[in-house]
């Protein structure tokens, strides 16, 4: 019973396999992370605190990224401004 469904079936199969393959890899890495935490615990670290540190650093990184994005927006605006004499003067005065 070959039909138009065959292509769909093959596509579907491919999609599912790609996802399952990726999830497998993801799981391997997640297991690695658990292992690192386990080792750290054996070495006397408090994993709960450790996790908090990681989370805090992630938040900081996000904030930095946010700030960088804002800065970039400013710079882009200044770039436009820089095309005018008035803008160029402002840029120079403010040290950009």
Which residues in this chain contact DNA in the complex, by CB under 7 A? 26, 30, 33-34, 37, 41, 47-48, 51-52, 55
Distance, CA of 65 to CA of 15 (rounded, Å): 33
Distance, CA of 52 to CA of 58 (rounded, Å): 10
Q: Which of 92, 60, 67 is nearest to 78 (CA)?
A: 92
Q: How far is the CB of 17 from DNA (least distance, A)?
A: 16
Could you tell me the two tokens for 76?
Answer: 């882009």
Binding site for its own copies (CB under 8 A): 1, 3-5, 11-12, 15-16, 18-20, 22-23, 25-26, 29-30, 32-33, 36-37, 39-40, 43, 45-46, 48-50, 52-60, 62-63, 66-67, 69-70, 73-74, 77, 90, 93-95
């Amino acid at each position: 019973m070959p039909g138009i469904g065959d292509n769909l079936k093959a596509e579907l199969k491919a999609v599912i396999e790609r996802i399952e393959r990726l999830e497998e890899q993801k799981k391997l890495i997640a297991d690695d992370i658990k292992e690192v935490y386990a080792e750290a615990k054996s070495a006397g670290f408090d994993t709960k605190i450790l996790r908090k540190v990681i989370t805090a650093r992630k938040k900081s990184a996000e904030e930095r990224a946010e700030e960088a994005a804002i800065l970039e927006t400013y710079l882009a605006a200044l770039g436009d401004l820089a095309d005018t004499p008035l803008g160029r003067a402002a840029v120079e005065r403010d040290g950009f």
